Structure 1
Amino acid sequence: MNRAVIQVEIQVRGINGQVTLLSDRIQIKRAGAMARLTQARNGDKDILISALNGVRIQLPGLLSNGYIRFYPADGNPNETSLVRAASDANTVLFNSRQLGKFANLKTEIEKKIVTARTLVVPPPAVPATIDFDLLDQLNEQYKQGLISKAEWVSAKKRLLGL
């Protein structure tokens, strides 16, 4: 049985939780007294990179903590205050000493978001030769009312490899 290897790329501990960047998702784990105070109703959380719209950092002030907030594609990207951020399930608080690690985490997550959105779609397969005689026959059948427009369009797309 082949199992995909999930690799821990970055792990950063904040004031009210720990964020782990894996190859395909981020994990937010809650532990400690501050997490129990601010995140009592929110437990651990996994968010797929492909489901993220963005990441935002609020810098810490002289007397306040900063935070990193993850915006899922189905979430509301409105600005939030520190008080609301402290209880938000998609947010982890950090202090000024932890800023560098969280800034690096944000950069790496943004790179992964861009990579996840940049899908390489192969061009559609085009038949080696197009049978124009058959196209003409189908066109005549359509004009005579022997086949419907939907059938004509479907057959034409199939013959052209679309």
Structure 2
Amino acid sequence: MIHICGQIPGNPLHLRMSLYLNDGVQEPNCDDSAVVDFCDDDFTKEFLVEDIMAYRDCSWLERNPDQKSKLCKNSHEAYHLCSETCGKCSDNCEDDEGKFYVNSFHRMQDCEWLSSKPYWQDRLCYSGHRAFELCHESCDRCD
């Protein structure tokens, strides 16, 4: 059984947890427990984008690479809410090199193209399509 002891100050995605067995052999000990880092975007919260004076979420940030370079800094709230989008995760899940066929208009594209196209992600990221096989991160196959 996992016992959640609480959040670590400074980062809402860090939790202190303790593992103990149901048979009572090992009791929860929060003082010695490990810190577990969940490296995902927090889609329940929004952050202020001062350029446009509006609140946005991590999915918006993912679709706006120009804003990513501005907002994915330790001094901005987006950096802490959008860990995966801002590249803080070390899950070793990356897109592979290569191209895949989209349609007669778009022809051959790569994972970088797909990463900023939610419309096409919905249509191409399925088992059996080359995009699904190449674009692990863009098709959200990580974690």
Question: Which category of TM-score, normalised to the shorter sequence, fits these structures?
Answer: under 0.3
Structure with a larger share of its residues in helix = 1
Higher CA-based Rg: 1
Q: Structure 1 length normalisation: TM-score?
A: 0.20
TM-score (norm 2): 0.22
